[in-house]
Amino acid sequence: MSGSNSSARDAAGPAEGLGLTVHSLPAPALEPDARRTRNGRIKMLLVLLVCAAPVIASYFSYFVLRPDGRTNYGHLIQPTRSLPALPLRTLDGQAVDAQSLRGQWLLLALGPASCDDACQQRLYLQRQLREMLGRERDRVDKLWLVTDDAPVPAALRAALQADAALQVLRVPREALNAWLQPDAGRALEDHLYLVDPMGEWMMRMPAEPEPARVKRDLERLLRASSSWDLAGR
């Protein structure tokens, strides 16, 4: 009897051991691979978040928190519109890479070369707004985009050249239509437009704006972006 029991145990023993070996082998090999993949993805997301955090924080503080309880005066563009490859030229006909405009806040004025009284008033307002920013004015560039091929009157051209902070470039009006958009019932030239240092059009000022309220918008945006935006390109 004892011999038969021993034989039964000998017969059952290898089968049970084999079963444990088959079911336990794959687990140690698969688990470390899955853990490494998961950790790699987490690290990649953390790196992306760290890089984008300053920009996200500045826009969040402006668009969402609004600690003073007041709304913006200019019209926010949501989502923002990226600077396209505009066919820009100087008044002398030299090509300018549109991407060279990145790196500074841009306050844009538009208009034909003839620049009527309303156009000249916008250029004057553009100049005054930048000066009103005080020591922060070097973070904002003024840009007049001439929307036709006509010559700029000599007197106006001389006045523009005397303003070192103003850049004047030509661009076809139809090219701007694919990027900028006026308020309903208004012409493209009726507004000042604000572009952030990343080349994103993000605000349109009202036609015939109140300078003090535009200044307040600019100051709040410059303050919100001070952690990641510096003067100069």
Full domain range(s) for residue 126: 74-224
Report pLDDT for 11.
Answer: 46
Same domain, 17 and 97: no
- Is 69 inside any structural domain? no
Residue with more model confidence, 31 or 98: 98
pTM of the model: 0.72
The total of structural domains in the chain comes to 2
Same domain, 12 and 87: no
Report pLDDT for 12.
Answer: 47
- Is 60 inside any structural domain? no
Q: How far from 34 is each of 47, 111, 123, 169, 225, CA to CA, in Å?
A: 20, 60, 61, 55, 40
Please give the average per-residue pLDDT across 93-117, as a whole number.
Answer: 96
- Is 166 inside any structural domain? yes
**CA neighbor of 142 nearest in space, from 164, 117, 120:** 164
Same domain, 85 and 181: yes
Same domain, 108 and 14: no
What rounded mean pLDDT belongs to the chain? 83
- Is 28 inside any structural domain? yes
pLDDT in tens, 31-41: 666 667 777 77
